Amino acid sequence: MNLDAAGDAAALRDAIVRKLTYDLGRSRSGARDRDWFLATALAVRDRVIDRWLDVTRATYEQGEKQVYYLSLEFLVGRLLRDSVSNLGLTETLKEALAPLGVDFDAVRLAESDAALGNGGLGRLAACFMESLASLNIPAFGYGIRYEHGLFRQILREGWQHEYPEDWLTFGNPWEFARPEIAHDIGFGGSVESVRVSDNEVRQVWHPAETVQAVAYDTPVVGWRGRHVNTLRLWSARALDPLKLEAFNFGDHVGALADRMRQEAISKVLYPSDETPAGQELRLRQEYFFTSAALQDLVRRHLRVYGDLRSLPERVAIQLNDTHPAIAIAELMRICVDLHGIPWDEAWAITQGSISYTNHTLLPEALESWAVPLMERLLPRHMQIIYLINAHHLDAVRAAHPGDVRLLASVSLIEEGHGRRVRMGHLAFVGSHKVNGVSALHSDLLKKTVFRDFHALAPDRIVNKTNGITFRRWLQQANPGLTGLLVDALGPRVLDDAEALDGLAPLAEDAGFRDRFAAVKLANKEALAALIRQQLDLRVDPHAMFDVQIKRIHEYKRQLLNILETVALYDAIRAQPHLNWVPRVKIFAGKAAASYHRAKLIIKLAHDVARVVNGDPTVRDLLKVAFLPNYNVSLAEMIVPAADLSEQISTAGMEASGTGNMKLALNGALTMGTLDGANVEIRERVGDPNIFIFGLTTEEVETRRRDGSHGAAAIQASPRLGEVLEAVESGVFSPDDRGRYRELMASIRGHDYFMVGADFDSYFEAQRRADTRWEDSAAWWRSAVLNTARVGWFSSDRTIAEYAEEIWRVPVRR
Ligand SMILES: *Cc1c(COP(=O)(O)O)cnc(C)c1O
């Protein structure tokens, strides 16, 4: 330790103790881990602020283009390790805390996990915020400051129960409340035509109800602390919180009920990521944060540039999925109604500023809102959407006269069983670029949901394959591997993900492979300790850790994995003395509260685990562990410890995946279908270093069209037949033998997700993985090559591509 470093540690220690004493009012002796966390976070935050203010000022002075990332979800996780690491203070902080008798890890774990998102989409937004700051791109993230993030999952006897997540109970040291930054958000009411001059009539919206959106700012510090951006989350505040008049007249309950209803907007995250919740509250949330974001950025733009016409040169607005798609109508309203800009000019401003990321092809997940609801809640926006549609359909009609099918297909309004506004169509026409999130997904967008749109605007759809921030998912989550990489490749690897390429030759170096394997073993020992503590289950860290961690969904096919587990269990029991490769099947994931079948799949995993783990004939050859309450923090424990990464969705259904990237980066081999970004992972790691199985997208499509059923697959596979019989007859559910009858019947029947059709191929691919594992040099060669060749999946690369092709902003590394 040099003197400067010692001095810095001492200064940080003083700052922490001062925060503990004067901000928290705690004595050193009485302080708990949580108090130390809060004091540490406040002290660390101080180190970010000067740079934050400087950077923000410089952006305006230099007239730099700003990126605005609008997302209903930001799955942030814990921030202490991230901030400290990006500021280069990790060692300093450990030294600062040690003489106080405080352990950095204990402090770090006392932070609550900010789960303001459901899964991949929200985590992508969080990775993007970190990469934007690391690439010195001036940016704001805009979202909602949910009081309760995603529910806490508790498993009782394998049944999921949802409990509220109270991440704000002990305060959030990262955020700055900005009560002075507030925008009025209207709902309902009526629209009035007002003549403002001889030749101009303006529409004036008189909302029936107004809620305030109040800003809470979190600084987002980039790698090496050079740049700091802002995550601005909006909280709902009733305009007249106590309704004093009503209160005085004695209607206390009524007054509070109004307030409750208004402030409910930012109370809870909708716990469903794959289907649009039909509730009015959800639409209110969407409009609430979108309108606040647009008012905020328009005000900032006008303050600096004075004129909205220059918006597209100064501002890039990215819509993360269709949740903020109402932005298109809102920006038109701001331009036309509030600033008197003619329609066509307003449209050029809107389209020039906005772009849209599509995240799903699943028809049931494409957002639409009933016209009567829109008319009631957002009457002026509904008028604007009709006008946009009229202009849009006129243009289509002019180019393709008489094509009635085409008009119906690309209309913003879905006719038929109740008229609905198609938010994806609105987002498409109002954006200058629309992107998918993997090569396959973008290709399918052109061929399926946006086929007709693609023909009308062939340059609009582009691909931006997702990425992950390597700071969090490698450097912080896996310090052991990071140390090894820095030893091998030098510190450059911390700054440039593509430098990982240099690792490839070391895959041939037996000494390096051993060190790589030793890091993995240490990570597995830590995970084994967690499994023991959480589940009271002992697992052998030398066994293959076979990991499937993600939301529970039929298309992600945890069921396929569980059925394969049963088949393997049967095979081991039949021939217990063969040379089986010992495996630990590790699952984690939440099911949407209303998704009964997903909850039943969790229960099945639990029932199978109970039988398998309790069977002495399988000894340590097979164990099943379902870890509760999957979130970013748990992912950070599991990802570095995984040997095998299960990415087994039905082909054509996973838009990209990002879990697949995290696991490959940390040296897990992928067991996957040709779906989402798996396709591109295969291209990079090479066919010998990934286990690909199953039907392709086209084959799935053909089978569905032909109305094929699971029965044929079961006929062809005695192994599958036995597994289904065992599960449906109650072997794993003696307390309720019929529990899985219907679930198994779905595989025998339509088998929409192709579990039966892919079963044999999957089982066979798993045995290939066994064979590779038995040849330890071959396994670790593949593992090293996975880490070496996935540098391209850094979200720095993704963001640089958005910057160049969609936002047209410079990247400064
Ligand atoms: C990365 C991540 C996801 C996305 O995982 P997929 O496997 O891509 O579905 C979901 N939840 C959390 C907590 C994550 O960290």
Of the residues 73, 74, 75, 631, which should be mutated to test ligand 1's pocket, given the most ligand atoms within 8 Å of the CB? Answer: 75
Q: Are residues 446 and 376 in the same domain?
A: yes
Residue 483: inside a domain, yes or no? no
Three-state DSSP class for residue 791: helix
Query: For 468, which DSSP code?
Result: B
What's the CA gap between 410 and 456, in Å, rounded? 10
User: Which entry of 145, 232, 550, 583 is annotated as an active-site residue?
Assistant: 550
Catalytic residue chosen out of the listed positions 34, 123, 323, 359: 359
- Decide whether any atom of ligand 1 lies within 6 Å of the 670 Cβ: no
CA gap 647, 642 in Å, rounded: 13
Nearest one of 743, 669, 641 to 625, comparing CA atoms: 641
Query: What does the pLDDT read at residue 241?
Result: 57
Task: Kindly report the protein residue whose alpha carbon is nearest to atom 3 of ligand 1.
Answer: 120
Ligand 1 center–CA 551 separation, angstroms: 7
C-alpha of residue 125 to centroid of ligand 1, in Å: 12
Spatial CA neighbour of 620 closest among 628, 629, 612: 612
Residue 487 belongs to some domain of the structure:
no
Torsion of CA 73, 77, 80, 82, to 10 degrees: -80
Residues 92, 465, 658, 673: which is the catalytic one?
A: 658
Contact 320, 357 (CB under 8 A): yes
For residue range 168-198, what is the model confidence (pLDDT) as tens digits?
Answer: 999 999 999 999 999 999 999 999 999 989 9
For the stretch 612-647, pLDDT in tens is 999 999 999 999 999 999 999 999 999 999 999 999
730-757 pLDDT per residue, tens: 999 999 999 999 999 999 999 999 999 9
Is 47 among the residues known to form the active site? no
In 655-702, where do the E strands start and end?
A: 669-672, 691-692
Does residue 339 sit within a domain? yes
> Residue 403: what are its φ and ψ, rounded to 5°?
-90, 85
The whole-angstrom separation of Cα 562 and Cα 329 is 46
Q: What is the mean pLDDT of residues 323-338?
A: 98
What residues make up the domain containing 108? 1-62+80-113
Percent of the chain with pLDDT over 90: 91
**Is there a single domain that holds both residue 511 and residue 438?**
no
Backbone phi, psi, residue 463, to 5°: -110, 140
Q: Check if the beta carbon of residue 70 is closer than 8 Å to that of residue 355.
A: no
Active site residue 359: yes
Q: Which residues contact 124 (CB under 8 A, 6 or more apart)?
A: 320, 437, 466, 658, 795
Q: What are phi and psi of 575, to 5 degrees?
A: -135, 70
Ligand 1 in reach of 627 Cβ (< 6 A): no
Residue nearest ligand 1's atom 8 by CA: 657
Distance 352 CA to ligand 1 centre (A): 32
Q: Domain for residue 768, yes or no?
A: yes
Q: Which residues pair with 115 in a beta bridge?
A: 75
At residue 333, the pLDDT reads 98
| Helices assigned H by DSSP within 497-631 | 510-535, 558-574, 596-613
Does pLDDT of 2 surpass 70?
A: no
550 lines ligand 1 (CB under 6 A): yes
Look at residue 521 and tell me whether its pLDDT is greater than 60.
Answer: yes
CB of 467 closer than 6 angstroms to any ligand 1 atom: no
Give the distance from CA 376 to its chain's centroid: 32
The fraction of the chain above a pLDDT of 70, given in percent, is: 98
Dist CA 93 CA 487 (whole Å): 23
Does residue 718 sit within a domain? yes
Which amino acid would we find at residue 450? F
Same domain? 706 vs 623: yes
Distance 658 CA to ligand 1 centre (A): 6
Please compute Rg for the chain using Cα positions: 27
Cα of 117 from ligand 1 centre, angstroms = 10
Secondary element (H or E) of residue 91: helix 90-97
**371 CB less than 6 Å from ligand 1?**
no
Ligand 1 centre to CA of 300 (Å) is 34
Query: Cα separation of 356 and 809, whole Å?
Result: 17
Residues 681 and 721 occupy one common structural domain: yes
Q: Does residue 105 sit in the same domain as residue 166? A: no
Confirm or reject: Cβ of 631 under 6 Å from ligand 1. Answer: yes
d(CA 655, CA 361): 7
Average pLDDT over residues 434-440: 98
Pocket test of ligand 1: the residue of 82, 550, 633, 663 to mutate, having most ligand atoms within 8 Å of its CB, is 550
What is the domain count for the chain? 3
793 C-alpha to ligand 1 centroid (Å): 15
Helix intervals (H) in 115-184 = 120-134
> pLDDT of 188-230, one tens digit each?
999 999 998 998 899 999 999 999 999 999 999 999 999 999 9
Distance (Å, whole) CA 376 – CA 736: 48
The arithmetic mean of pLDDT across residues 129-134, rounded, is: 98
From the list 700, 698, 663, the residue with the least C-alpha distance to 678 is 663
pLDDT at 685 over 90: yes
What's 193's domain CATH number? Answer: 3.40.50.2000
In DSSP terms, 211 is beta-bridged to 185, 238
Q: Are residues 270 and 417 in the same domain?
A: yes
Question: What does the pLDDT look like over 287-321, one tens digit per residue?
Answer: 999 999 999 999 999 999 999 999 999 999 999 99
662 is catalytic: yes
Asked if the structure places residue 471 within a domain, the reply is: no
Ligand 1 centroid, distance to 119 Cα (angstroms) = 5
Report H helices in 717-775. Answer: 718-728, 741-748, 755-774
**Which atom of ligand 1 has the smallest separation from the CA of 658?**
8
Task: Locate all alpha helices (DSSP H) within 471-509, ordered by sequence.
Answer: 479-489, 492-495
| Cα angle value 440/442/443 (rounded, 5°) | 65
Q: How many CB atoms lie within 10 A of CB 206?
A: 12
Structure tokens at 532: 């023991």
Residue 245 has pLDDT above 70, yes or no: no
- Given a contact cutoff of 8 angstroms between Cβ atoms, the answer to whether 192 and 203 are in contact is yes
Selecting among 381, 454, 524, 662, the annotated active-site residue is: 662
| Residues 40 and 125 placed together within one structural domain of the fold | no
472 lines ligand 1 (CB under 6 A): no
The pLDDT value given to residue 1: 47
Whether 678 is in the pocket of ligand 1, judged by its Cβ within 6 Å, is: no
Question: Could you identify the atom of ligand 1 that is nearest to the CA of residue 635?
Answer: 15
pLDDT score of 146: 97
Q: pLDDT confidence of 405, banded at 50, 70, 90?
A: very high
Same-domain pairing of 181 and 280: yes
How confident is the model at residue 408, as a pLDDT? 96
> Do 90 and 147 share a structural domain?
no
CA terminus-to-terminus distance, the chain:
29
* The pLDDT value given to residue 116: 97
Which residue has its alpha carbon closest to ligand 1 atom 10? 119
Select which of 551, 557, 623, 703 is catalytic: 551
- Of 603, 691, 697, the residue nearest 644 (C-alpha): 691
Q: Is the pLDDT of residue 244 over 60?
A: no
**553 assigned to some structural domain:** yes
HEC per residue, 112-129: CCEEECCCHHHHHHHHHH
State whether the beta carbon of 119 lies less than 6 angstroms from ligand 1: yes
Ligand 1 atom at minimal distance to the Cα of residue 115: 13
In this structure, are 439 and 546 located in the same domain?
no
Based on the fold, state whether residues 171 and 25 are members of the same structural domain: no
Q: Is 658 touching ligand 1 by the criterion CB < 6 Å?
A: yes
Q: Taking Cα atoms as reference points, which of 500, 592, 593 lies closest to residue 793?
A: 500
Query: pTM of this prediction?
Result: 0.97
Core vs surface per residue 625-643: b (16+ CB within 10 A) or e: bbbbbbbbbbbbbbbbbbb
pLDDT mean over 421-433: 98
Residues 253 and 216 placed together within one structural domain of the fold = yes
493 in any annotated domain:
no
Mean pLDDT, all residues of the chain: 95
